[in-house]
Amino acid sequence: MDALVKKRIKQIKKGDQDAFAEIVELYKDKLYQLGYRMLGNRHEAEEIAQEAFIRAYVNINSYNQEYKFSTWLYRIATNLCIDRIRKKKPDYYLDAEMAGTEGLTLYSRIPSDSPLPEKEVEMMELQETIQGEIVKLPEKYRSVIVLKYIEELSLNEISEILDLPLGTVKTRIHRGREALRKQLRHV
């Protein structure tokens, strides 16, 4: 996969947009997921993920092949998410938190004429609770928790993506996990 990505990047640098479409296909769910868990709603997740890909395309010549491409891409997307969180005004921020509970992923899979089984309703409510608690975390803890547990990245990769010392990443994961434990222990 890494070899394929390298080849596609060479093609993109030569101006081959089809090669870039392949890259988008490869990473679109990861960046969308990141945006969704960081920002709490689908609309902003899509905007951020699109913007990240466009920036990656425009700036492809500044990508250093010594690093993993996914690390570079995550870095662009994570920075966009963090900027957006910081720019949110407090009242708008509250809206976003409520929007964070809209993650009704199971709804769309169930035909509208059949009643929702009780277990699935419970499952949906649980998912909403968890998503709501993730979005309530302060941004610096939210980033590391999402990168580690949603995107399943290593501590070293997270440190590169966020441009933070490894020790800082560890401390933030500990604090984020501790905060979530207190919120989720009784669910």
Partner 1 sequence: MNCPEEIIVYMHEYLDDDLDPEHEQVLKDHLGTCKACQTVFHEMKKTVALIRSTANVHAPDNFTQSVMAKLPKEKKKIGMQR
- Interface contacts to partner 1, rule CB under 8 A: 14-18, 20-21, 24-25, 28-29, 31-33, 36-37, 42, 45-46, 49-50, 53-54, 57-58, 103, 105, 126-127, 130-131, 134, 145, 149-150, 155, 170, 173-174, 177-178, 180-181, 184-185, 187
Q: Count of CB atoms within 10 A of residue 159's CB?
A: 19
CB of 177 to partner 1, least distance (A): 6
CB of 112 to partner 1, least distance (A): 19
DSSP letters along 135-168, please? HHS-HHHHHHHIIIIIS---HHHHHHHHT--HHH
Nearest CA-CA partner of 56 in 106, 114, 95, 17: 17
Which of residues 62 and 66 has its CB atom nearest to partner 1 in the complex? 62
CB of 175 to partner 1, least distance (A): 9
- Asked whether 41 and 100 are in contact (CB, 8 A), the reply is yes
Q: Count of CB atoms within 10 A of residue 67's CB?
A: 13
Which of residues 9 and 103 has its CB atom nearest to partner 1 in the complex? 103
